Structure 1
Amino acid sequence: MFKSHKKHYFFLVFVIGIIVVAILGLFKALTLTNKPRLLLNIPKSYHAVGNLNIKWPYGTEGAIMIDRYGIISQTPHQHPIPIASVAKIMTAYLILKNHPLHLGQNGPDITITKNDVKIYKKDLKNQQSVLKIAANEKLSEKQLLEGLLLPSGNDCATVLAKWDDGTVKAFVNKMNKMAKLLNMNHTHYADPAGVRLYTVSTANDQLKLAQKVMQIREFRYLVSKPQATLPVAGTVYNVDYDLGKDGIFGIKTGSMPQSGGDFVFASNQYLKWKHILILGALLGEYGERPLMDALKSTIKIINQVKNNIHLSQLFKKDQKIGYVKFEWLKPIPLITGSSFYTITWPGINYNIKFEKNPIMLPIKKSSIIGYIDVYNKFFTKKIPVRIAGMVKKPTLIERLKSILRI
Structure 2
Amino acid sequence: MKKKLLITSMMVIVYSLFGMSVYAEESKGDQTNSINLADNAKSAILLERDTGQVFYDKDAQVKLPPASMTKIMTLLLIMEALEQGDLKYEEKVRVSERAASMGGSQIFLEAGEEMTVKDLLKGIAVASGNDASVALAERIAGNEKAFVKKMNQKVKKLGLENTKFQNTTGLPAEDHYSTAYDMAMIAKELLKYEEITKYTSIYEDYLRKGKENEFWLVNTNKLVKFYPGVDGLKTGYTNEAKYCLTATAKKDDMRVIAVVMGAGTIKERNATISGMLDYAFNHYETKHIFDKGERITSLNLLKTERKNIEIITSESISTVHRKGEDTKNVETVITLDSEFTLPLKKGSKVGMLYVKDGDKTLSKTPLTVKEDIEKASYLTLFKRSVQKLANSR
Q: In which range does the TM-score fall when normalised by the shorter chain?
A: 0.5 to 0.7
2:178 pairs with 1:178: no
- After superposition, the C-alpha distances for 1:319-346 in whole angstroms (9 at most, x for unaligned) are xxxxxxxxxxxxxxxxxxxxxx953239
Q: 1:227: Cα distance to partner?
A: 2.2
1:147 corresponds in structure 2 to 123
Equivalent position amino acid for 2:132 in 1? C
2:80 pairs with 1:97: yes
- After superposition, the C-alpha distances for 1:52-75 in whole angstroms (9 at most, x for unaligned) are 624212442111111223111111
| Runs of 4+ that moved beyond 4 A | 45-50, 350-356, 375-378
Partner of 2:228, secondary structure, is helix
Partner of 2:131, secondary structure, is helix
CA distance in 2, matches of 1:254, 1:133: 21
CA distance in 1, matches of 2:60, 2:201: 32
CA distance in 1, matches of 2:364, 2:155: 25
Q: Is the 8 A contact 1:81 1:259 kept in 2?
A: yes
Q: Which runs of 5+ in 2 are unaligned?
A: 1-21, 288-317, 334-353, 366-393
Q: 1:78: Cα distance to partner?
A: 2.4
2:230 pairs with 1:252: no
Q: 1:292: Cα distance to partner?
A: 3.4
69-78 or 194-203, which deviates more: 69-78
- Tell me how large the CA RMSD over aligned residues is: 3.4
1:203 corresponds in structure 2 to 180
Q: 1:84: Cα distance to partner?
A: 0.4
Q: Is the 8 A contact 1:224 1:243 kept in 2?
A: yes
2:268 pairs with 1:293: yes
CA distance in 1, matches of 2:218, 2:231: 14
Q: Give 1:194's match in structure 2, choosing from 154, 161, 170.
A: 170
Equivalent position amino acid for 1:266 in 2? T
Partner of 1:177, secondary structure, is helix
Q: Is the 8 A contact 1:310 1:343 kept in 2?
A: yes
Q: Give 1:60's match in structure 2, choosing from 6, 17, 42.
A: 42
Q: Give 1:343's match in structure 2, choosing from 300, 320, 343.
A: 320
Equivalent position amino acid for 1:152 in 2? S
CA distance in 1, matches of 2:234, 2:183: 11
CA 1:140–1:378: 2 relative to 1, 3 Å: farther
Structure (1 or 2) with the greater helix fraction: 1
Q: 1:219: Cα distance to partner?
A: 1.2
- TM-score normalized with structure 1 length: 0.61
Q: Is the 8 A contact 1:228 1:237 kept in 2?
A: yes
CA 1:58–1:234: 2 relative to 1, 3 Å: closer
CA 1:77–1:236: 2 relative to 1, 3 Å: closer
2:99 pairs with 1:156: no
CA distance in 1, matches of 2:255, 2:176: 27
Equivalent position amino acid for 1:249 in 2? D
Q: Give 1:304's match in structure 2, choosing from 255, 279, 289.
A: 279
2:243 pairs with 1:268: no
Equivalent position amino acid for 2:224 in 1? L
- After superposition, the C-alpha distances for 1:337-365 in whole angstroms (9 at most, x for unaligned) are xxxx953239x9x9978899xxxxxxxxx
CA distance in 1, matches of 2:332, 2:254: 28
2:31 corresponds in structure 1 to 51
Equivalent position amino acid for 2:31 in 1? N
CA 1:76–1:282: 2 relative to 1, 3 Å: same
CA distance in 2, matches of 1:372, 1:218: 25
Q: Is the 8 A contact 2:23 2:320 kept in 1?
A: no
Partner of 2:224, secondary structure, is coil
Q: 1:46: Cα distance to partner?
A: 6.9
Q: Give 1:379's match in structure 2, choosing from 331, 355, 363.
A: 363
2:237 pairs with 1:237: no
Q: Is the 8 A contact 1:355 1:373 kept in 2?
A: yes
Equivalent position amino acid for 1:265 in 2? A
Which is greater in Rg? 1
CA distance in 1, matches of 2:43, 2:63: 10
Q: 1:378: Cα distance to partner?
A: 4.9
- After superposition, the C-alpha distances for 1:43-98 in whole angstroms (9 at most, x for unaligned) are xx977896362421244211111122311111146221100000001111111212
CA distance in 2, matches of 1:306, 1:98: 33
Counting aligned pairs with the same residue, the percent is 19
- After superposition, the C-alpha distances for 1:361-401 in whole angstroms (9 at most, x for unaligned) are xxxxxxxxxx99427665379xxxxxxxxxxxxxxxxxxxx
CA 1:145–1:352: 2 relative to 1, 3 Å: same
Q: 1:307: Cα distance to partner?
A: 2.5
1:221 corresponds in structure 2 to 198
CA distance in 2, matches of 1:353, 1:116: 51
Q: Is the 8 A contact 1:61 1:282 kept in 2?
A: yes
CA distance in 2, matches of 1:355, 1:64: 25
Q: Give 2:63's match in structure 1, choosing from 73, 80, 94.
A: 80
CA 1:261–1:233: 2 relative to 1, 3 Å: farther
Partner of 1:292, secondary structure, is helix
Equivalent position amino acid for 2:321 in 1? T
